[in-house]
Amino acid sequence: MSFLAGNTRVHLSAYSDDEKVDAKQLYYAIKKPIQDLATWVAPLNIDHYYFTFYITPSAKETHFHTEQFGGMASDNSSFFVLPRIKNAERFKKVLRRVACHEFLHLVTPYALHAENISRGALVGDQEMSQHLWLYEGVTEYFTLLFLAQHGYITEETFFEELGEKIGMMHQFPDVSLTKLSKEVFKPKHRKQYGNIYLKGAITAFALDMQLRYLQLDGAKVPSSLHQWILELRNQYGPEKSFSEEKFIAELSAIHPEISDYFEQYILDDKAPPYDFSLRMLGMEYHDLYVDEVGTYGYFFTLPDYKKGQLYFSKVKDNPLGVRNGDILSEINGTVIKTNNYKEHKHLLYDARPGDAIKVKVKRKNAAGEYRPVHLQAIAKLYKIRERFAIRPIPSAPAMTQQIRESLFK
Ligand SMILES: [Zn+2]
């Protein structure tokens, strides 16, 4: 199967042991995002591109991050070994994510690379290029940014993934990205290979924000990392390499603060200034974030569309006193049916500690008849702990909202 993405014909083939996944399913998962991506980084300078997926059966979803799975790109193709994920929506998200990452390698390293990288072949046991921060770090960040800008993931997911990368990056010792790149196949650094996708991506994000900051400040710099990388790609291209040794000096020449950025966060081992970058967006990072919410207890409300009503199910301890099988008939005096439940659901589930609620249910008595029962409760305090979270700064300046909009535009 194939489709056109810009001027490039994209071919797709799939193999799976249990034949439950076919090329058609993959086709529908990645066609639109790859077409959007081709526009995002146009022009691609390549006539044909080949995706090959090998889908293994029965893998547990939790194994997804292990080394058995993943993708590999070369000049005009990429190859994936992935577990089949039962949840179709989740499977689609994983496919999109990995396909976009590998396809983005058509920008770098394919069309923006040093002379010592043999056109995108990123494996080998020789000394590696020092520019993995660009080949993998920028590619990983661009994947997230592209997906968020085009609505394939939400802004919340974008920040969730960024937060996870920041938290996981700090579990590795501080390391210079260029040094890690060069020595990534030596025993000392091998274990840190994964950090290229963490620190590399966060460094790219913070560099992007640095450019945006300088531009707001009136400096003559590219308006975003996306724009800058495409300019460089157009300047070099697949046939013309940049100098492995002189490239960072060349990039640093655009502005003293960019030079400083490369010095501190890419050549030296300092952690990227994500606090500053996030503050520009009205956000901040927390190693551990404790959210205090209110709750009326644990229960589900399931719709019965035929009768137009909702009933409680999977009920556990709850201060409200609802029971399994109760039919929800009123919330705070409003009659609730399946067709207006959506507007009132938050009263039941998104309470603040101390909020009050009155609920009327119909409950079956011993004789099998439904009788009205009036219930009420005050929401109890419930703490949700989240690691590596990025959250809005309360009362952030309005300016940050504008910057945030321009990032996701
Ligand atoms: Zn990659």
The confidence score (pLDDT) of residue 68 equals: 53
Helices (H), 19-77: 23-40
d(CA 53, CA 235): 33
pLDDT surpassing 70 at residue 30? yes
CATH number for the domain whose boundaries are 2-287:
1.10.390.10
Instruction: Provide, rounded to the nearest whole percent, the portion of the chain with pLDDT above 70.
Output: 93
pLDDT per residue over 121-143, tens digit each? 455 455 678 999 999 999 999 99
Between the CA of 151 and the centroid of ligand 1 the distance, in Å, is 22
Stated pTM of the model: 0.84
Average pLDDT over residues 275-281: 97
pLDDT surpassing 60 at residue 64? no
d(CA 82, CA 21): 11
Average pLDDT over residues 192-198: 91
The confidence score (pLDDT) of residue 117 equals: 64
Question: Which CA distances in Å does 283 have to 145, 151, 201, 393?
Answer: 16, 20, 18, 5
Give the domain 297-378 fold. Pdz3 Domain (2.30.42)
Task: Write down the mean pLDDT value for the chain.
Answer: 91
Between the CA of 242 and the centroid of ligand 1 the distance, in Å, is 19
Between the CA of 82 and the centroid of ligand 1 the distance, in Å, is 15
pLDDT surpassing 90 at residue 338? yes
The confidence score (pLDDT) of residue 381 equals: 94
Q: Where are the domains of the chain?
A: 2-287, 297-378
Between the CA of 149 and the centroid of ligand 1 the distance, in Å, is 20
The confidence score (pLDDT) of residue 126 equals: 57
Average pLDDT over residues 375-386: 94
d(CA 236, CA 280): 32
Between the CA of 109 and the centroid of ligand 1 the distance, in Å, is 9
- Give the range among 149-153, 184-188, 230-234 with minimum mean pLDDT: 184-188
Dihedral sign for Cα atoms in the order 228, 232, 233, 235: positive
The encoded tokens of residue 70 equal: 């993943």
Between the CA of 295 and the centroid of ligand 1 the distance, in Å, is 43
Sheet holding 2-5, edge to edge: 2-5, 8-16, 48-56, 77-83, 70-74
What band does 304 get if pLDDT is binned at 50, 70 and 90? very high
Between the CA of 94 and the centroid of ligand 1 the distance, in Å, is 15
Between the CA of 136 and the centroid of ligand 1 the distance, in Å, is 5
pLDDT surpassing 50 at residue 107? yes
Q: Is the peptide bond before 272 cis (omega within 30 degrees of 0)?
A: no
Between the CA of 72 and the centroid of ligand 1 the distance, in Å, is 7
What band does 355 get if pLDDT is binned at 50, 70 and 90? very high
Between the CA of 81 and the centroid of ligand 1 the distance, in Å, is 14
The encoded tokens of residue 245 equal: 């040794």
Between the CA of 105 and the centroid of ligand 1 the distance, in Å, is 7
- Give the range among 77-81, 127-131, 312-316 with minimum mean pLDDT: 127-131
pLDDT surpassing 80 at residue 407? yes
Between the CA of 140 and the centroid of ligand 1 the distance, in Å, is 7
Between the CA of 135 and the centroid of ligand 1 the distance, in Å, is 7
The confidence score (pLDDT) of residue 63 equals: 46
Between the CA of 358 and the centroid of ligand 1 the distance, in Å, is 54
d(CA 158, CA 181): 25
Instruction: Provide, rounded to the nearest whole percent, the portion of the chain with pLDDT above 90.
Output: 77
Nearest-10 Cα torsion for 351, 353, 357, 362: 70
The encoded tokens of residue 331 equal: 């919330």
Answer whether 2-287 and 297-378 agree in fold. no
E strands in 62-207: 70-74, 77-83
Average pLDDT over residues 354-373: 95
Between the CA of 70 and the centroid of ligand 1 the distance, in Å, is 9
